[in-house]
Amino acid sequence: MANDREVLREIWDGKLPICFQLDQEEIMEIQQPDPFYVMVPRLSYFPLVTDKMKRHFLRFISQENADNEMWLDYNGQPLKWHYPIGFLYDLYCGNDPQLPWMLTVHFTKFPEDILLHCPNKDVVEAHYMSTVKEADVLKHRGQVMSTMQKKDHNQLWLGLQNDKFDQFWAINRRLMESHGDNEGFKHIPIRIYADDGVCNQRLVNPKNTDGSRKVLQQMINEIYPERINVKLKTHGIVLPLDTPLQWLSEHMSYPDNFLHLCLC
Amino acid sequence: MSSSGSLLFSINNEGKVYALSTSGSCWREFMYLGLEFKTLSAVPHYLWAVGGDRQIYLHVHGLEIPIRVKEESYENERWLPLEGFSGRLLPTDRYHFSSQDGTVDKSIDRIRLPSMAWQWEGDWQLELTLDGQPLDHDGWSYAVDFPAQFGPVKQWKSCVRRRKWIRYRKFSAMNSWCAIAPLHKDPTQEPFIDVCIGGNQIPYAAPGTLSVWAITAHGRVMYRAGVGTTSPEGLKWINVSIPPNCDIKQISVGPTGLVWAMLWTGRAIIRKGITKDCPTGEAWLEVKSPSETKLSVMSVGYNAVWAVSSDTRVWFRKGIDGNMAGNSETAAMGSGWLEITGNMINISVGINDQVFAIGESDKCIYWRSGITPSELTGKRWRMVQANMQLSRTSSSASVISSASNAKHHSLSMLSENTPELKSNIKLHNSWEESHSAPIEHTLPIKPPKEILPKNNTIIDNIDLTGKSYETTLKNPRAWSPVRSVGSVVGMEAQPDSDSSVFDVDSGMYFDEEVSQTAWGTCDTTWSFVEAGACSIDPMQIPHWFTDSYNVHNSDLTAKWRLQILDCLKNRNTYQDVDLSNYGVAIEEKGWTRSCEARLVTTNNSIEDCILSLYWHALENTGTLSVFQPDGTIKFILNLGEVTSVISSSEPGCPRVNLSTPRQNNENIKVQFISEMEQEEWLSVLVDIISQINGLSSKPSENSVWAVTSSGDVLNWDLMPMRQNPEENELHSKEFQVFGKYALSGFTTNLYNNFPPGSIFKITGSLNDEIKRFHVNLQGPEIKKQRHKIETEVTEIALHFNVRFDESTVVCNTKMFGNWGVEERHPLPLAPGQEFSITIHCNNQGFKITVNDKIYCFYEHRLSPESITSASVQGPLKLYTMVYSTTNIIIDPDEMIWRMMGGYLRKVECCQNGITWGISHDHRVWVYTGGWGGGALKGLGGNEGINSMTDTQTYCVYENQRWNPLSGYTSTGLPTDRYMWSDITGKHKRTREHTKLINRHWHWISEWMIDYNTPGGVDSDGWQYATDFPAPYHGKKIFTDCVRRRRWYRKAQIITEGPWIRAGSTALLDISLWNNDDEVLVWAVTIGGDAIYRTCVTTASPTGNHWEHVKNPQTLIAISTSNYIVWAVGRKGELYYREGICKENPGGTNWKLIEAPKYNYPFSHKTSVGAKFVSLNANAAWVLLSNGAIAIRTDISQAQQDGKQWKYLTDCDMLFKDVSSIEQEVWAVSTDGHLHRRLGVTAENPIGTSWQRVLSSSLVHVSARGSSL
């Protein structure tokens, strides 16, 4: 059970100051647009928080591009909208923190080969829900999601979209419960990314064979037996290696119910 | 150690006894007294054991109040012509000293203590009241002849008289081992090999019944007669014969009394026919063992029997039904063995059929997880891993103590401090010198000096009747318990330094961390486990299992967790970034939520509707729209006008009730489609309404608590209102009157009366054709009974009458319904004019200003304190009406009642915020300061939210009528009540249709016949009467035409709330009063005893422990204020406690208070008893058994019983609860509405009128925290 409210709240309240700037090549006006400053929840997704920013920059671009899909890059690296914002920051700036996070806004030259299209928020919701389902399959063989009603799914999504902790956790706590005699999850939904963004997803059991709680170090030993001094970062912090995986999954998963960890 | 935890007992391989509390995580060792133990058997609070000397010992523990038994004897006398009254009676008469019915000789010199474990509490005393009426000092009551009605007054025809002697005895061997008499003078002649206790839930048996069975070394089975919660040692052993060739080695009795015994040959036999009437059963039956298996240990539970075979395999006996076991052989025997995985050497079944066992290879204790009533075999074995208290005597312990502290000093010094050890042994060796007298029960916190008795002195004043045991022993080593039945085997030797297993409840502030330092881990090998007293909540399992993922309490302090939290907190500090120009990414938006529901109208008809809730957190506004199914609007409710949201569900109808007093007096009742939906809406609405009104944290000390009929706890907090802006130190209230036409009159309450300093102002415009109008400042409406009941205002302090037709203004006062002398003034206004009238009250009179010009002054003829309302009447339009007073104005329309969470029957608070509650099963809870839980979820976070349970009993009555042909049948007369009904007979109630109110409730028993119905029952539970609403009796007589019996079924609710258990004593009533930080808590136990709690302060609201106060009569209610305590006796009499002061919080003795003589107009009875009392500084508000209220005034320290009774004459409302403190009096009327008494002052302690503040279905209120 995810019952450490203090940690949950702290993670939920994590925000990043971001400075958006329009790509110089796309500015069609004589007047330079002001950069757009905004505090963004780490747990959210870019399409959910960029409406205002988009309106801000639309005035400065050529009208023929106004209907194009907007995309973002950091240091020339296009940002995938389907990852949580906080994770993207940890991935690209984790080792060299810079605040505010300077991002460039584009309306042209959509990098089709790198990014998925995101015509509207429904696509984000669909992607989000499918990730939650995938996580539930790993944790409970999909039993929790299938017993939930449509409105529960809705509440989960609205809670995330509107930054409502209680609304979100009222539902998410059911996803974070262990079933059957507190044995913990079946598997831990976890994705580990190298700094090049390559994802490594394995089946990870929350328990060791002797029934004791598996901690982070033990998992690292299994996945990277050859590497020493592995550090994993998420939510902007380096995780202590003796943290139990079950606890980590319950408390430090992103809203999509996955642990997104960055190797560093 | 919190006493709300239950205990798991076990014996290690050295024969030492340990206990593990379900609320703790450490094994605590029993004081080692030189005696090892072989086996144990326990039910909560009672532990039986076979010692290493093969004798039987009893240990009673964890009871917060002593076991007291009242011995009573009636002294009978007959009047003889010459001698007057004397003890010489007629030969046909009863004994001189007898029982109440005269059949038993009860000479008081022959009433002895049952054993040395008992002590007299004082001497024989006379009972000086009869049914609450005081008797003269000799306590005699008189009658014509013996089997007649006794009365308090001696009459000419009184030929006999009697008086009642009472004396209490107390079980003094609490918290210590107490020897049970052996079977023979020489205890070695027939020692015991096993003992077991159970039978605490024998179907239909009287509460407190226990059964104890034992096996002697000769293989005899003994049943201990007379064991019960008030007679822990019982009376004597009874031999129960066993079949030939049966050599029994072990015996086990389950909670339902079912007995299984194990033979040396590995077979099991069971005792059939054990019922409440036949506790020893009828005969033995043999049970087949699993094929080719010899059973070695077996344990009986409620619906389960578990056994271990000699090859360490584990067996579960399926098909056992504890409730039926007494009547059905198959239910007692079960149907077959089922092998369970695991290898165990010992097994024990505890409460709720939870199973503990000892592993064969590691000798560790395992718990079978996943056992539920539907899955009695559970899921898997989980090892119990709890730290050990380092034993002074155990060799295997290794000290990991990091720091020593005072409490555990002796423990950490153990290794080098051997003299201490010796002193223990010496104590044991020499104890036959001290055991000859029972040692007074002392709580372990008291200094040791008080414990060690001086035998000589105690023997002198204690009537010890165990004379046959007084032979002194020549050789101390050849000690035998026969000489000291019930004697105490040693007490705590170092009460200061030992952390006793039975540490008095230290409440929720028990510092687990400190005590951890003297605990270590060591590999103990266990040889015996006993779970009979261990109650495990599968929802909240104890912190005993390190393999649990649920051990968040240890996670909370884990280094990695603190590190993570630290990092998380630090990442949000952006030193170099100026955040001022950063916008918010997600803007606060309003959200809506809707569902289909039904609206319950006033006449209980149901209309379909669609609910739609809109809420904007930033603007703090919300609306609830109710649409017809076709989409047209029914009404839209501004959520700011809702003052309370409560659950009003009925079985199958999940409902929520919204009060909107500003709209109308009728509540809005909404019925939802499902319970889940009802709960979600309830928590959302409670959340929103609390947010709108700025309520989120712990309510202030001065808030008022109430409990609804569905057990929800409500709170109204004055503080947010107090923060309203104030003008010139005056509190103002503007009434919504704009545009109101006052032709037929407009009356409004002046909630704080009209004391000097108050202002009343109206503005408006007069009609063109106005003749007259008036403004009254008046008292309450009085009901008058003339031709019909009508109301009239008899007291008008100021009548300001503007007469255009007479061109004058008349000021006058009405007293007792009669007008006084008029004062006339010239006309200041003209018809059609806009006007303002302001009335200032000062000490001399009213200063009246018209159109901002001082107009006139009217001297007080009546006290302005008696003004309760203002009334304007005449052809005029009102613009504004403002009422300002020096005190804060409490307007019921603005009282927001917040649901706090939890399920309780009663809540009591005092003025420093300490709040206690009592649940329906009489358990005691203390408010933790949190908010939420249960249906409310974690509204205010999870802080202070704990799991709660409560039990309620559902009753239905089966009624039958006798007819000459077929005898008693369930066909009644057409005029009869329902054949299955509630107690009144007016409502049909059947067993099948009794449904639980929501999904948090579940049945915990089947329907059972109640053999303890008041009035007595026959062997089938019937009680008889001549006709239906007539007094019922247990024995059928010739004239009886009808009979009834009561069926009951118990249900339990599992919920959460901001409450924590305090103590294990069951309470009927509780009262709190504080003097700054120090809090007096007095309570009445379920047995009718008065107790008070020590060391209750704001820092430790649960206090320390209960201190018992002797009381001659059983009590039902209690109240305390200002170091005065009043109590209500079972017969409706009132007492106060004399001599209470800071130094002696328990007081000295009880004094009877003159009974109220209340003639209630519509009642036949002339005198009714009290049933509840609420005491404030100078008056006691007493609720009488007919629902009327009597007030005892002029109570002071010097005159604690007050001077005179006063009664409320302004209304004929009846009440079910009342609560008073200072000048606040709140009451719940019988229809469940909450009322506040207006006009209560020091001069007028009974107040002037009731003001309805909440229309709801309440059962209880506590305003004892308010201070205005």
Could you read off the pLDDT of B369-398 as tens digits, one per residue?
888 888 899 888 888 887 776 544 444 433
CB spacing of A3 vs B552 below 8 angstroms: yes
- Is B1156:B1205 a contact under the CB 8 Å cutoff? yes
How far is it, in rounded angstroms, from Cα B1005 to Cα B992?
14
- Listed by number, the residues of chain A in 92-131 with a beta carbon closer than 8 Å to a beta carbon of chain B are 99-100
At residue B838, does pLDDT exceed 90? yes
Least trusted range by pLDDT, from B481-490, B959-968, B970-979, B1112-1121:
B481-490
CA distances from B1077 to B697, B1105, B1174 (A): 21, 18, 21
| Cα-Cα end-to-end distance for chain B | 39
So what's the pLDDT on residue B257? Answer: 92
Q: Does B557 touch chain A (CB under 8 A)?
A: no
**Does the distance separating the beta carbons of B564 and A240 come in below 8 Å?**
yes
| Binary contact (B583, A15; C-beta < 8 A) | no
**Looking at chain A from residue 139 to 198, which residues have their Cβ under 8 Å from any Cβ of chain B?**
158, 161-163, 166, 170, 178, 180-184
Q: How confident is the model at residue B445 (pLDDT cuts 50, 70, 90)?
A: very low
- Whether residue A206 is preceded by a cis peptide bond, meaning omega within 30 degrees of 0, is no
To test the contact with chain B by mutation, choose from A1, A8, A10 the residue with the greatest count of B C-beta atoms within 10 A, namely A10
**How many whole angstroms separate alpha carbon B1035 and alpha carbon B513?**
60
For chain B, say whether A3 makes contact (Cβ under 8 Å).
yes
For B345-367, write each residue's pLDDT tens digit.
Answer: 999 999 989 999 999 888 889 99
Alpha helices in B495-649 (DSSP H): 512-516, 552-556, 559-570
Q: How does residue B211 score in pLDDT terms, banded at 50, 70 and 90? A: very high
Angle between helices A5-12 and A165-175 (to 10 degrees): 120
Give B824-831 contacts, CB < 8 A, sequence gap 24+: B825/B855, B825/B856, B827/B802, B827/B803, B828/B802, B828/B853, B828/B855, B829/B766, B829/B802, B829/B804, B830/B766, B830/B804, B831/B766, B831/B767, B831/B768, B831/B769, B831/B770, B831/B804
Whether residue B409 is predicted with pLDDT greater than 50 in this model: the reply is no
For B64-93, write each residue's pLDDT tens digit.
788 888 888 999 888 888 888 888 788 888
The whole model's pTM is what? 0.69
Please, is B972 exposed, middle or buried when counting C-beta atoms within 10 Å of its C-beta (0-12, 13-18, 19+)?
middle
CA distance A263 to B887: 66
A10 CB near a chain B CB, below 8 Å? yes
B582 contact residues in A (CB cutoff 8 A):
17, 37-39, 100
For chain A, positions 13-32, list CB contacts with chain B under 8 A. 13-15, 17
Look at A52-66, B548-562, B780-794, B1005-1019 and tell me which has the smallest mean pLDDT.
Answer: B548-562
Contacts of A184 in chain B (CB under 8 A): 549
In a mutational test of the B interface, the residue from A183, A218, A219 whose CB has the highest number of chain B CBs within 10 Å is A183
Give the integer Cα–Cα distance in Å for B691 and B639: 10
> Testing the interface with A: which of B539, B561, B586, B616 to mutate, by most A Cβ within 10 A?
B586
Please tell me chain B's helix, strand, coil percentages from 3-state DSSP, rounded to the nearest 5: 10, 40, 50
Would you state the pLDDT for residue B683?
A: 87
Window from B445-449, B1069-1073, B1246-1250 with minimum mean pLDDT:
B445-449
Kindly tell me if the per-residue pLDDT of B781 is higher than 60. yes
Per-residue pLDDT of A232-251, as tens digits, reads 889 988 889 888 888 889 88
Out of B379, B564, B577, the one facing A239 most closely (by C-beta) is: B564
The predicted structure's pLDDT at residue B270: 92
**B1118 φ, ψ (degrees, to nearest 5):** -150, 150
Test B568 with A211 for CB contact under 8 angstroms.
Answer: no
Structure tokens at A180: 């059957």
* Lowest mean pLDDT, pick from A106-120, B45-59, B226-240, B717-731: B717-731
**What per-residue confidence (pLDDT) applies to B587?**
66
Cα(B320)–Cα(B306) distance, rounded to whole angstroms?
11
Question: A161 lies in a domain?
Answer: no
DSSP H/E element including B811: strand B808-815
Q: Which residues in chain A are closer than 8 Å to B586, comparing Cβ atoms?
A: 41, 44, 48-49, 161-163
Whether B462 has a pLDDT exceeding 60, the answer reads no
- Between helix A150-161 and helix A165-175 the angle, nearest 10°, is 130
Query: What integer pLDDT is reported at residue B439 of this predicted model?
Result: 33
Q: Are B1015 and B1031 in contact (CB under 8 A)?
A: yes
- The answer, for A210 touching chain B at a CB cutoff of 8 Å, is no
Q: Return the closest-CA partner of residue B907 out of B921, B931, B926.
A: B926
Residue B722 has pLDDT above 60, yes or no: no
DSSP at B641:
G
In tens, the pLDDT along B1027-1070 reads 877 788 888 888 888 888 999 888 888 888 899 888 778 899 99
How many folded domains does chain A comprise? 1
Average of per-residue pLDDT values in chain B = 80
Architecture of domain B1059-1262: 6 Propeller (2.120)
- Tokens coding B715: 């709170």
Question: Rounded to an integer, what distance in angstroms lies between the CA atom of residue A119 and that of residue A124?
Answer: 9
Sequence spans of domains, chain B: 70-110+119-168, 586-694, 731-889, 949-1057, 1059-1262
Any CB–CB contact under 8 A between B579 and chain A?
yes
Check residues B891 and B438 and name the one with the higher pLDDT: B891
For residue B1218, which of B1069, B1061, B1076, B1080 has the smallest C-alpha distance? B1069
Question: Would you place residue B1083 in the very low, low, confident or very high pLDDT band (cuts 50, 70, 90)?
Answer: very high
The pLDDT confidence band at residue B574, using thresholds 50, 70 and 90, is low
Of B497 and B726, the structure prediction assigns the larger pLDDT to B726
Tell me whether B590 touches chain A (CB under 8 Å). Answer: no
| Residue located via tokens 């509460």 | B207
Q: DSSP secondary-structure letter at B981?
A: E
Instruction: Give me the phi and psi of B1226, to 5 degrees please.
Output: -125, 150
User: Half-sphere exposure of B1008 toward its Cβ, with a 13 Å CA cutoff?
Assistant: 19
Q: Work out the average pLDDT over B449-471.
A: 35
Predicted confidence (pLDDT) per residue in B1087-1129, tens digit:
888 999 988 888 888 888 888 888 778 899 999 998 899 999 9
Contact A117, A82 (CB under 8 A): no
How many Cβ contacts (< 8 angstroms) between chains A and B? Answer: 109
CA-to-CA separations, A191 to A45, A114, A131, B1199, in angstroms, rounded = 17, 19, 12, 78
CATH number, domain at A68? 3.10.20.620
ipTM: 0.89
Q: What number of CA atoms fall less than 13 Å from residue B112's CA on the CB side?
A: 9
- Is pLDDT of B489 > 60? no
pLDDT tens per residue across span B739-751? 888 888 888 888 7
Phi, psi of B1082 (to 5 degrees): -115, 145
- Chain A CB contacts of B369 under 8 Å are 181
The per-residue pLDDT for B157 is 82
Interface residue of A46, A231, A241, A243 to substitute, partner B, most B CBs within 10 Å: A243
| Domain that residue A57 falls in | 7-106
**With contact defined as beta carbons under 8 Å apart, do B12 and B394 qualify?**
yes
Do residues B49 and B40 lie in contact, with contact meaning Cβ atoms separated by under 8 Å?
A: yes
pLDDT of residue B620: 75
Calpha distance B306→B836 (Å, rounded): 87
- Cβ of A242 within 8 Å of Cβ of B560? The answer is yes
Residues 26-85 in A contacting B (C-alpha not used; CB under 8 Å)? 36-41, 44, 48-49, 52
The DSSP H or E segment spanning A123 is helix A121-140
Q: Of A208-212, B552-556, B647-651, which range is least confident?
A: B552-556
Mean pLDDT of chain A: 85
Res B589: pLDDT: 67
Tell me the three state secondary structure of residue B136.
Answer: coil
B1181-1199 pLDDT, tens digit per residue, is 999 888 889 999 999 888 8
Q: Does domain B586-694 have CATH number 1.10.645.10?
A: no
Beta strands across the sheet bearing A101-106: A77-78, A71-74, A101-106, A15-22, A36-41, B583-584
> In the CATH hierarchy, which fold is given to the domain comprising B731-889?
Jelly Rolls (2.60.120)
Which of A154-158, B267-271, B533-537 has the largest mean confidence? B267-271
Of B370, B556, B583, the CB nearest to A37: B583
Q: To which residue do tokens 């209980």 refer?
A: B604
